[in-house]
Amino acid sequence: MVPCTDPITQAQGQTGEDVEAPIDQKELHEAAHSCLIDYGTPFHKNIIVRAEGLYIYTPENHKMLDWTSGQMSCLLGHGNPEIVNVISHHAAKLDHLFSGMLSPPVINLGKRLTALTPPGLDKAIFLSTGGESNEFAIRIAKFYTGKFEVVGLSASWHGVTAAAIGAQYHSGRAGYGPVMPGNFALPAPNAYRSIFRHPDGTYDWQTELSYGFSLIDRQSCGSLAAVIVEPILSSGGMHPLPAGYLKALKKHCEARGMLLIIDEAQTAIGRAGDMFAFQHYAEDEGVVPDVLTLSKTLGNGIALSAVVVSDAIAEKTAKDGFMYYTTHLNDPLPAAVGDKVLEIVERDGLVERSRELGKVLQKGLLRLQERYGCIGDVRGRGLMAGVEIVTDRVTKTPGFDLGNRIGERMADLGVWAQLGTHQSFAGVFRIAPPITITEEELEEGLEIMEEAFASTEGSLPLY
């Protein structure tokens, strides 16, 4: 087996200048398969040896615009100097503590975050991954309500821990035996593919939602505790909830004594053009979730998540003995990173920047849709977009193989954007570059996408 040497020091000279990297990717992949567990997705053909700013680099120094921000997380780009300084300082001075101890970074992040959330989201706790934050959210909802049934959307992704995956229907349920009892699914909003239509052909999400709850009511044993939803179903195909959906959902919850949990792992902190995506539509004005979960974008690639609840929920559950105690809750180092992320986003006006550049992104993607018949739908908000690939616009047949070939061509030309191929949402490119991207860099990526579509057989050019 070939030893895995340090690719960064091999790829750079003492001055930091790029030099030829003596790395054999084939040998490294063989080494990886000898010692690493497969976890449900093929390892990408390129082993990445460096990530800097908006780009990721292969051993051959081929750079790609990172249009997934890592795992939809590096909101401010890779190696952001201010984030690096925070990590370096706290790694040396204040990294990890006994879970019952507090530190200034945790208190500072709590104060900054709850100053940004609306009244009704008053107290926070800080954990590691998005899955853990949703596990906490569901656990506290059950404890607060004294009930146990949880409703999710049929194309949702909330994590792979027990309660989170019980409310997840996008993938990951088959082959593991029973999930947590009391889980039900509502039809996931999908304006492109839903069978619920008005006579004029427009999407009838109101009837779809009411019908979904009529089925829930028939299945429930009378112990409905919570609904958990994403404002934009990212892993489920980049589908934004329709305007007014959250208000209608909140009414359904109130009628049944349920809490509303909103999972903003990917959509918050400016990613979708608002500080929090649930605040976007005027039709949803006044809707505040009972529980809000954050992760990915809050930590800029560092494992950090948050749960925010009302004073009422926090006080009642504390009084009644709620317990959730893990090794890395309220750790100072990731909390300091989250505090710096929020500071930078506010200071530099990045929410507004994402909103405006999102218009540029959508315009460019719609221009591609006009040129290539394989693009069935373009959707999203802010710097968060979905491009659905089909082989026929009339039948909307998913174009999995075609999308893969376009994606490989894009990577070869210099843009990395993930194509989701799970059957639950057809083949959709998920695009989410760091929100520090410039308009010029955005146009550069769109030009590369254009070249990839133009040079891939089967893309159905229209002119």
Domain identity same for 410 and 284: no
Is 423 labeled as catalytic in the residue annotation?
A: no
Domain identity same for 283 and 411: no
Residue 389, classed as helix, strand or coil, is: strand
Which position among 132, 135, 149, 230 bears the catalytic label?
A: 230
Which position among 139, 142, 271, 430 bears the catalytic label?
A: 430
- Spacing of C-alpha 82 from chain mean position: 23
Q: How many angstroms separate the Cα of 333 from the Cα of each of 95, 132, 360, 395?
A: 5, 18, 36, 51
Is 230 labeled as catalytic in the residue annotation?
A: yes
Query: Which of 347, 367, 391 is the C-terminal boundary of a domain?
Result: 347
Which position among 157, 264, 369, 388 bears the catalytic label?
A: 157
The answer to whether the CB of 129 falls within 8 A of the CB of 161 is no
Which position among 296, 379, 405, 409 bears the catalytic label?
A: 296
CATH number, domain of 355, equals 3.90.1150.10
Domain identity same for 131 and 50: no
Q: How many CB atoms lie within 10 A of CB 275?
A: 20
Is 263 labeled as catalytic in the residue annotation?
A: yes
The answer to whether the CB of 370 falls within 8 A of the CB of 458 is no
Query: Which of 347, 376, 400 is the C-terminal boundary of a domain?
Result: 347
Which position among 132, 208, 256, 266 bears the catalytic label?
A: 266
Residues whose CB falls within 8 Å of the CB of residue 93, separated by 6 or more in sequence, listed in order: none
As given in the structure block, the two tokens for residue 103 are 């530190």
The answer to whether the CB of 271 falls within 8 A of the CB of 121 is no
Q: What is the pLDDT along the chain (463 residues), one digit of tens a residue?
A: 445 555 554 545 444 455 455 688 888 899 999 999 998 888 888 899 999 999 999 988 999 999 999 999 999 999 999 999 999 999 999 999 999 999 999 999 999 999 999 999 999 999 999 999 999 999 999 999 999 999 999 999 999 999 999 999 888 888 999 999 999 999 999 999 999 999 999 999 999 999 999 999 999 999 999 999 999 999 999 999 999 999 999 999 999 999 999 999 999 999 999 999 999 999 999 999 999 999 999 999 999 999 999 999 999 999 999 999 999 999 999 999 999 999 999 999 999 999 999 999 999 999 999 999 999 999 999 999 999 999 999 999 999 999 999 999 999 999 999 887 565 556 899 999 999 999 999 999 999 999 999 999 999 999 9
Is 10 labeled as catalytic in the residue annotation?
A: no
Residue 360, classed as helix, strand or coil, is: helix
Q: Could you tell me the sign of the dihedral formed by the alpha carbons of 337, 343, 344, 349, in that order?
A: positive
Domain identity same for 146 and 292: yes
Q: Tally the domains of the chain.
A: 2
As given in the structure block, the two tokens for residue 338 are 């989250």
Query: Which of 316, 347, 378 is the C-terminal boundary of a domain?
Result: 347
Cα–Cα distance, 333 to 95 (Å, whole number): 5
Instruction: Supply the range of the domain harboring residue 57.
Output: 7-32+40-72+350-454
Is 296 labeled as catalytic in the residue annotation?
A: yes
Task: Residue 116: name the closest of 312, 354, 298, 337 by CA.
Answer: 298
- Spacing of C-alpha 420 from chain mean position: 13
CATH number, domain of 290, equals 3.40.640.10
Domain identity same for 118 and 12: no
Domain identity same for 199 and 252: yes
Domain identity same for 275 and 209: yes
Which position among 66, 204, 263, 274 bears the catalytic label?
A: 263
Cα–Cα distance, 122 to 116 (Å, whole number): 10
